[in-house]
C-alpha cells in the first residue's frame, strides 16, 4: 500500500506503568514514527522516556535498575521475544554465554582476573623490592663497616700522634747531644788536621833543608844582607849578556827562515823542471808515434807517398786531414753493403714464404679432410646405432596382429553399446525412487504416531532421565580417578614438547648456520673465481687457483731472472768500454786492439747500451706486471684457505651436529607422540565424563546420589515391567516401522545396485574406448618407426659415399704435401746460409771501418796532445825555471855562511853566562837553605802549640764512640717515628678513602632508604596477602553463590518438571525461565510469554495451557510471581483461565 491509514506519516506511542522495587510508580513511554518514502517505508524511534515524579533519564540504562534486576535477566528471563523463547535449548556455547550474563559471571570473572593479575604483578614487585632490599642491606652493611673503620682508624691515629710527639721530643734531645759532640769532634779534627798539615809541611821542609845542605858546594858564613847585595850586582851583568844572546838568537832565526824559503824555492824549481822535461820527452815520443801511425795508415790504405821522418807539424796536420777524409768513404761502402745484403735476403725469404704458403694451404686442406672424415665416421656410427635401434623396435611389432586387435575392439564396443540400451537403467532407477519415496512417507507417519505415544509415557521419560542422571553421576565419580593420571601425563607431555621445541630450535639454528656457511662459501667461491678470471682469463674456476698461483709465481721468477740478466749485461757495457779505452785490449779475451778495432768495439758497446735501456724498460714492466699478478693471486690465498676449510671442516662438522640433533629430535618426537597418544586417550575419557573437575570431597555425596538414583531407576523399571499398553502398542508401531525400514533398505540397495551396474558398464565402455585409442596410437607409432628406418638407411648410404670421396681427397693432398715440404725446407736452408754468409761479410767490412776510425781517432788524440804542448809554451818555461834555480842556489850558500858566524858568537856568550851562573847558584843556594831552616823551626813551634790544645780538650776516639752511640739511638728513634708516621698515614688514607666512599651516591641516606624499602616491602607483602585472601574469598563466594543458585534452580526445575512433565520444548523452556525468575527476580517476579502457541497445533496448545494452569496453581501463594501472556489465540487464553486468574486483560485489534 502507498499510505498508512491514508496518511504519508503515522506516529505511535507505547506506555508501560509499573512499580519499582522501592514501591514508586514509574511510567515508560516509547514513541515511534513511520514515514512513507517514494519506494519504501522508513521506521524511526522518536524518543524514549522514563517519567518519575521528579526527573527523566535514559530508558535502557534505568529500567533494569528500577526493576531491581540485571539487563540479562530482563532480556532472557522476564521479557523474551517469541523467536527466542526456546533459548534454553540452544547450542552449549550460546547457552553458556547467556547463563554467564544471567549469573553476572563475566563481571566477577574479570574481577578475579584483575585480582589475580594484581597479585601476580604485586609478586613481581615484591621480588623486585626484595632484590632492592638485599642490595640496600649490602650497602648498609658496607656503610656500617666503613663508619666502624673510620672510627677505629681515628682512635688509632690519635694514639699514634701522641707517640710521635714523644719520639720527636726524644729525637730533639739526642740531636742536641749529637750536635754538641759533632762540633767538639769537628774542632778536634780541625786541630788534628792542622797538626797533620804542619807536620807534613815541616817534614817536607826538613827534607828540602837536608837536600839543600847536601847540595851546597860551600857554606857561606856571611850574613843574609851581604849575600843579597852580591846577588843584586851579579844580576845586572847577567842581564846584559842575556840581552846580547837574545839579539843573536833573533838574527839566527831570520837567517834560518830565509834559508828555508830559498830551499823550498829550489825544490819547487826542481820539481817543475823535472815535470817539464818529462812532458818534453813524452811530446817527442808522441811525434814519433804520430809519424809512425800516419805512415802505417798511408801504407795499408794506399793514401799516397810520404816524406822521410820526422814530419813537421804542418805536414802531419795535412796528412791527418787526408786520413779523416777517407773515413766517410768507408762508411758509405758499409751502408751500400748493408742495403745489398738486405735486398738479397728479402728475395730469398720471399721465395721461401711462397713455398711455405703453398705447403700450409695444402696441410690445412688435408687436416680439414681428416676432421671431416672423423666427423663422417662418427655420424655413420650414430646412424647405424639409430638404424639398429629402430630395427630392434620393428622386430617387436606385428602389424597384422595390431589390425586384428583393432577389429576385435570395435566389435566389442558395439556389443557394449547394445547391452546398455537393452538394460534401460534410467527408467528402472526412476521407478525404484518412486517406491522408496512412498515407503519413507509411511515411515514418517508411523514415527509421528510413535512420538505421540512417547509423549504420553511420562514414566518412561522419567526413567530415561533418571538413567541419564545416574550415568552423569557415574561419569563425575569416574573423572575424579582419571584426573590425577591425566595431569601427570599432561606434565610429561609438556616437558617432552619443550624438549622437542628446544631440539627443533637447535636444528633450525644448525640449518641456518649451515645455510649461512654455504652462502659464505659460495660468496668466497664467486669472489675468488671473479678475481682469478679478472687476473688471468686462462683460469676461471676455483679449482684452478693453485695452478694459476704456481704459474704466476713461475712467470714472475722467469721475468725477474730475465731482468736481472739484462741488468747485469747493461752494467758491463760501461766497464767494458773503459777497459778497452784504458788498456786497448778486449775485456773478454784480452786481445790487443788497433785504433780502428777499439773505436768499433766502443761504438758497438754504446749501441748495445742504448738499445738495452729500452729492453730493460720492457723487462721491468713485464716483471712488475708478473709480480703484481702474483701478489694479487697470493692475496687470495687466505680466502681460498678459508673456502677449503669451510668445505672440509666447518660445514661437515655442522652437518654432523645437525644429524645428531635430528636423531635426538626423532627420539624425542617418538616419545612425545607416545605420550600424546596416551594423553589423548585419557583426555577423551576425562572429557566424556565432564567438562568441569569436581572437588575430591564431593565423591561421597556423588556416591550416595548414585545409590539413590539407582534405587529410583530400579523402582521405575519394576513398575513399568507390569504396566499395560493401549490397543496399538508401542511395540506394534515399532514392528511396523522395522518392516517398512527393511523394505526401504531393500529398495535402497536395489537402487544402488542398478546405479553400480550402470557405472560399471559405462566404465567398461570407457576402458574399451581407451584401449582402442591406445591400439591406434601403437599402429601409428609402428608406421613412424618403419618410415624412420627407411630414412636412416638412405642417410647412411649418403654418408658412406661422402666418406669415400673425402678419403680420395685426403690421399691426393698427402701426395701433394711431400714435395712442397721438401721444397720449403730447401729454400729455408738456402736463406739461412745466405744470411750467415752476408752477415759475416758485413761484419768484416764493419770491423775494417771501425778499425780505421779508431786509428783516425788515435792520430787525432796524439795531434791534440802535441798541439797542446806547443800552445802552452812549456819549452820556454823550462829555460826560465833553470835560470831561477841557479840564482836560488847562490843565495842559499850566502845564508848558510852568515848563519854559521852567528852561531859561533852565540856559543861564546852562552859559555860566559854558564861560568857566572855557578857563582849565582851558590849564593842562591845558601839563601834558600837559611830560609828553609827558619821555616822548619817555626812549624815545630806551631805543632807543639796545637798538640797542647788537643790535650786540653780531650781525645777524638772518646767523642767518636759517644757520637756513634748517640747516632744509633737517634736512628732507632727515627725508625720508630717513621713506623708510627707510616702507620698513621695508612690510617689517614683509609679514613679519607672510607669518607670518600661514604660520600658516594649509593651510600647517601642509606639507613633511611633501607628503612623506607623495608616498610614498602612489608606493606606490599601484607597487601599481597590481603589480595590473595580477597581472591580466595571472592572465588569461594562465587563458587558458593553459583552452587546455591544452581541447586535452587535445579530444585525448582525438578519440582515443576515432575508436576507438569509433557515433553514439550516450549514448556521445558518455560520451566527453566520460571526457575531462573524465582531464583534471581526477588524484586521483580514477572514472567512474560510472547505468542507461546505460534508453532503449536491444537492438542499441543491445550497441553501447554494445562501445564501453565498447574504452574499457576502451584505458585498462587507467591507474591513475586506474575505471569504476562501475549497471545492471539483466544482458545488458549480461555484454557489458562482467562477469568479465574486475571482481574483485567487488554484486547488489541487492528482495523480492516
Binding-site residue positions: 586, 589
Pairing of strands 1122-1126, 1086-1090: parallel
The torsion angle over the Cα atoms of residues 187, 191, 192 and 193, rounded to 10 degrees, is: 100
How many CB atoms sit inside 10 A of residue 1018's CB?
13
- Phi, psi values for residue 130, rounded to 5°: -65, -45
Paired with 592 in beta bridges are: 585
310 preceded by a cis bond (ω within 30 of 0)? yes
CB-based burial label for 545 (10 Å; 0-12, 13-18, 19+) = buried
Task: Give the C-alpha separation, 903 to 155, whole Å.
Answer: 102
Task: Give the C-alpha separation, 758 to 764, whole Å.
Answer: 10
Q: Binding-site residues for Zn(2+), please?
A: 586, 589
Please identify which residue in the block is written with the cell numbers 547467556: 98
User: Burial letters for 590-623: b for 16+ Cβ neighbours within 10 Å, e otherwise?
Assistant: eeebbbbbbbbbbbbbeebbeebeeeeeebeebb
Spell out the residues 6+ positions from residue 101 whose beta carbon is closer than 8 angstroms to its own. 70, 72, 76
User: Burial letters for 134-160: b for 16+ Cβ neighbours within 10 Å, e otherwise?
Assistant: eebeebbeebeebeebbeebeebbeeb
Sheet order of strands, 9-19 included: 9-19, 25-36, 41-51, 56-57
Spell out the residues 6+ positions from residue 12 whose beta carbon is closer than 8 angstroms to its own. 31, 32, 33, 34
Q: What's the count of helices (H) and strands (E) in the chain, helices before strands?
A: 21, 6
Spell out the residues 6+ positions from residue 4 whose beta carbon is closer than 8 angstroms to its own. 10, 34, 36, 41
Closest listed residue to residue 699, CA positions, set 484, 487, 488: 484
Closest listed residue to residue 507, CA positions, set 666, 335, 305: 666
Hey, which bits of 953-1022 come out as E strands?
Answer: none
Cell numbers at residue 276, please?
817539464
* CA dist 975 → 171, 182, 305, 952, 978 (Å): 11, 22, 121, 37, 5
Cell numbers at residue 809, please?
681427397
Task: Give the C-alpha separation, 1129 to 1125, whole Å.
Answer: 11
Closest listed residue to residue 1076, CA positions, set 1112, 1052, 1041: 1052
Task: Give the C-alpha separation, 692 to 476, whole Å.
Answer: 9
Bin 1095: left if φ > 0, else alpha if -120 < ψ < 50, else beta: alpha
Task: Give the C-alpha separation, 356 to 351, whole Å.
Answer: 9
End-to-end CA distance of the chain: 13
Paired with 13 in beta bridges are: 31
Task: Give the C-alpha separation, 358 to 820, whole Å.
Answer: 7
User: Angle at the Cα of 151 (from 149 to 152), degrees rounded to 5?
Assistant: 65
Amino acid at each position: 500500500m502507498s499510505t498508512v491509514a491514508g496518511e504519508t506519516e503515522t506516529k505511535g506511542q507505547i506506555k508501560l506503568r509499573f512499580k519499582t522495587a522501592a514501591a514508586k510508580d514509574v511510567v515508560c513511554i516509547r514513541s515511534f514514527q513511520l514515514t512513507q518514502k517514494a519506494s519504501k517505508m522508513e521506521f524511526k524511534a522518536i524518543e524514549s522516556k522514563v517519567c518519575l515524579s521528579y526527573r527523566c533519564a535514559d530508558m535502557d540504562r534505568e529500567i533494569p535498575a528500577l526493576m531491581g534486576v540485571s539487563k540479562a535477566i530482563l532480556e532472557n528471563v522476564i521479557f523474551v521475544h517469541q523467536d527466542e523463547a526456546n533459548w534454553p535449548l540452544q547450542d552449549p556455547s550460546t547457552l553458556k554465554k547467556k547463563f554467564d550474563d544471567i549469573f553476572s559471571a563475566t563481571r566477577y570473572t574479570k574481577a578475579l582476573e584483575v585480582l589475580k593479575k594484581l597479585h601476580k604483578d604485586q609478586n613481581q614487585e615484591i621480588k623486585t623490592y626484595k632484590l632492592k632490599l638485599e642490595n640496600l642491606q649490602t650497602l648498609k652493611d658496607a656503610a656500617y663497616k666503613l663508619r666502624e673503620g673510620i672510627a677505629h682508624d681515628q682512635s688509632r691515629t690519635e694514639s699514634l700522634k701522641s707517640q710521635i710527639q714523644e719520639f720527636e721530643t726524644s729525637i730533639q734531645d739526642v740531636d742536641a747531644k749529637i750536635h754538641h759532640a759533632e762540633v767538639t769532634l769537628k774542632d778536634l779534627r780541625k786541630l788534628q788536621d792542622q797538626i797533620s798539615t804542619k807536620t807534613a809541611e815541616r817534614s817536607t821542609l826538613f827534607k828540602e833543608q837536608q837536600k839543600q845542605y847536601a847540595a851546597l858546594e860551600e857554606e857561606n858564613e856571611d850574613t843574609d844582607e851581604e849575600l843579597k847585595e852580591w846577588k843584586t850586582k851579579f844580576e845586572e851583568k847577567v842581564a846584559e849578556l842575556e840581552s846580547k844572546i837574545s839579539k843573536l838568537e833573533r838574527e839566527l832565526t831570520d837567517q834560518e827562515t830565509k834559508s828555508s824559503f830559498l830551499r823550498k824555492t829550489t825544490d819547487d824549481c826542481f820539481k817543475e823542471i823535472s815535470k817539464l822535461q818529462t812532458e818534453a820527452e813524452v811530446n817527442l815520443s808522441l811525434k814519433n808515434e804520430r809519424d809512425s801511425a800516419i805512415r802505417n795508415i798511408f801504407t795499408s790504405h794506399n793514401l799516397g807517398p810520404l816524406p822521410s821522418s820526422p814530419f813537421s807539424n804542418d805536414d802531419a796536420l795535412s796528412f791527418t786531414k787526408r786520413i779523416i777524409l777517407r773515413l766517410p768513404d768507408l762508411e758509405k761502402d758499409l751502408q751500400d753493403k748493408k742495403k745489398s745484403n738486405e735486398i738479397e735476403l728479402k728475395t730469398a725469404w720471399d721465395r721461401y714464404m711462397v713455398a711455405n704458403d703453398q705447403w700450409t694451404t695444402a696441410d690445412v686442406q688435408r687436416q680439414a679432410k681428416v676432421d671431416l672424415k672423423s666427423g663422417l665416421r662418427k655420424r655413420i656410427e650414430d646412424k647405424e646405432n639409430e638404424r639398429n635401434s629402430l630395427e630392434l623396435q620393428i622386430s617387436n611389432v606385428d602389424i597384422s596382429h595390431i589390425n586384428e586387435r583393432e577389429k576385435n575392439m570395435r566389435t566389442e564396443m558395439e556389443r557394449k553399446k547394445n547391452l546398455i540400451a537393452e538394460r534401460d537403467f534410467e527408467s528402472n532407477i526412476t521407478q525404484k525412487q518412486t517406491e522408496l519415496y512412498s515407503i519413507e512417507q509411511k515411515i514418517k507417519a508411523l514415527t509421528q504416531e510413535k512420538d505421540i505415544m512417547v509423549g504420553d509415557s511420562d514414566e518412561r521419560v522419567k526413567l530415561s532421565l533418571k538413567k541419564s542422571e545416574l550415568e552423569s553421576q557415574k561419569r563425575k565419580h569416574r573423572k575424579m580417578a582419571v584426573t590425577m593420571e591425566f595431569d601427570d601425563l599432561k606434565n610429561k607431555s609438556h616437558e617432552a614438547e619443550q624438549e622437542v621445541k628446544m631440539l627443533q630450535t637447535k636444528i633450525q639454528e644448525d640449518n641456518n648456520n649451515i645455510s649461512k656457511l654455504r652462502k659464505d662459501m659460495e660468496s668466497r667461491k664467486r669472489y675468488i673465481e671473479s678475481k682469478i678470471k679478472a687476473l688471468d682469463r686462462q683460469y676461471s674456476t676455483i679449482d684452478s687457483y693453485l695452478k694459476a698461483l704456481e704459474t704466476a709465481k713461475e712467470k714472475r721468477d722467469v721475468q725477474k731472472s730475465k731482468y736481472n740478466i739484462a741488468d747485469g749485461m747493461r752494467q758491463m757495457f760501461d766497464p767494458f768500454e773503459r777497459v778497452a779505452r784504458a788498456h786497448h785490449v778486449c775485456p773478454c779475451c784480452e786481445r790487443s786492439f788497433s785504433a780502428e778495432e777499439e773505436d768499433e768495439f766502443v761504438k758497438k758497446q754504446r749501441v748495445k747500451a742504448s738499445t738495452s735501456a729500452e729492453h730493460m724498460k720492457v723487462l721491468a714492466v713485464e716483471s712488475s706486471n708478473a709480480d703484481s699478478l702474483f701478489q694479487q693471486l697470493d692475496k687470495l690465498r687466505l680466502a681460498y684457505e678459508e673456502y677449503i676449510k669451510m668445505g672440509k671442516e666447518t660445514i661437515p662438522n655442522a652437518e654432523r651436529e645437525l644429524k645428531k640433533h635430528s636423531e635426538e629430535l626423532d627420539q624425542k618426537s617418538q616419545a612425545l607422540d607416545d605420550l600424546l597418544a596416551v594423553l589423548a586417550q585419557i583426555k577423551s575419557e576425562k572429557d566424556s565424563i565432564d567438562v568441569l573437575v569436581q572437588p575430591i570431597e564431593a565423591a561421597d555425596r556423588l556416591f550416595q546420589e548414585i545409590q539413590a538414583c539407582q534405587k529410583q531407576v530400579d523402582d521405575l523399571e519394576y513398575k513399568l515391567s507390569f504396566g499395560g499398553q493401549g490397543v496399538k502398542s508401542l511395540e506394534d508401531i515399532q514392528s511396523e516401522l522395522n518392516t517398512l525400514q527393511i523394505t526401504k533398505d531393500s529398495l535402497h540397495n536395489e537402487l544402488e545396485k542398478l546405479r553400480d551396474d550402470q557405472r560399471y558398464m559405462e566404465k567398461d565402455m570407457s576402458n574399451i574406448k581407451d584401449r582402442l585409442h591406445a591400439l591406434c596410437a601403437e599402429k601409428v607409432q609402428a608406421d613412424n618407426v618403419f618410415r624412420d628406418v627407411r630414412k636412416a638407411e638412405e642417410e647412411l648410404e649418403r654418408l658412406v659415399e661422402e666418406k669415400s670421396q673425402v678419403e680420395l681427397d685426403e690421399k691426393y693432398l698427402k701426395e701433394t704435401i711431400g714435395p712442397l715440404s721438401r721444397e720449403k725446407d730447401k729454400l729455408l736452408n738456402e736463406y739461412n746460409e745466405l744470411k750467415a754468409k752476408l752477415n759475416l761479410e758485413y761484419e768484416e767490412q764493419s770491423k775494417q771501418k771501425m778499425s780505421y776510425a779508431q786509428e783516425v781517432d788515435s792520430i787525432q788524440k796524439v795531434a791534440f796532445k802535441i798541439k797542446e804542448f806547443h800552445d802552452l809554451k812549456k819549452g820556454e818555461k823550462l829555460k826560465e825555471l833553470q835560470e831561477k834555480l841557479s840564482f836560488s842556489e847562490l843565495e842559499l850558500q850566502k845564508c848558510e855562511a852568515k848563519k854559521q858566524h852567528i852561531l859561533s858568537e852565540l856559543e861564546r856568550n852562552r859559555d860566559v853566562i854558564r861560568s857566572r851562573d855557578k857563582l849565582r847558584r851558590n849564593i842562591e843556594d845558601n839563601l834558600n837553605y837559611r830560609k828553609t831552616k827558619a821555616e822548619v823551626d817555626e812549624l815545630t813551634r806551631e805543632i807543639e802549640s796545637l798538640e797542647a790544645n788537643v790535650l786540653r780538650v780531650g781525645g777524638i776516639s772518646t767523642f767518636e764512640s759517644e757520637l756513634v752511640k748517640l747516632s744509633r739511638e737517634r736512628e732507632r728513634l727515627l725508625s720508630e717515628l717513621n713506623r708510627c708516621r707510616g702507620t698513621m698515614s695508612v690510617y689517614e688514607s683509609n679514613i679519607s678513602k672510607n669518607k670518600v666512599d661514604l660520600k658516594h651516591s649509593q651510600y647517601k641516606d642509606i639507613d633511611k632508604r633501607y628503612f623506607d624499602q623495608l616498610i614498602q616491602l612489608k606493606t606490599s607483602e601484607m597487601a599481597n596477602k590481603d589480595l590473595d585472601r580477597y581472591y580466595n574469598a571472592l572465588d569461594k563466594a562465587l563458587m558458593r553463590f553459583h552452587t546455591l543458585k544452581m541447586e535452587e534452580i535445579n530444585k525448582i526445575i525438578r519440582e515443576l518438571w515432575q508436576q507438569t512433565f509433557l515433553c514439550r520444548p516450549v514448556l521445558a523452556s518455560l520451566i527453566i525461565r520460571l526457575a531462573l525468575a524465582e531464583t534471581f527476580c526477588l524484586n521483580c517476579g514477572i514472567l512474560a510469554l510472547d505468542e507461546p502457541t505460534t508453532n503449536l497445533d491444537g492438542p499441543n496448545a491445550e497441553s501447554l495451557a494445562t501445564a501453565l494452569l498447574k504452574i499457576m496453581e502451584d505458585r498462587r501463594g507467591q507474591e513475586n510471581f506474575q505471569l504476562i501472556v501475549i497471545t492471539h489465540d483466544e482458545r488458549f487464553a480461555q484454557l489458562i483461565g482467562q477469568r479465574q486468574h486475571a482481574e483485567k486483560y487488554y484486547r488489541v485489534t487492528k482495523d480492516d
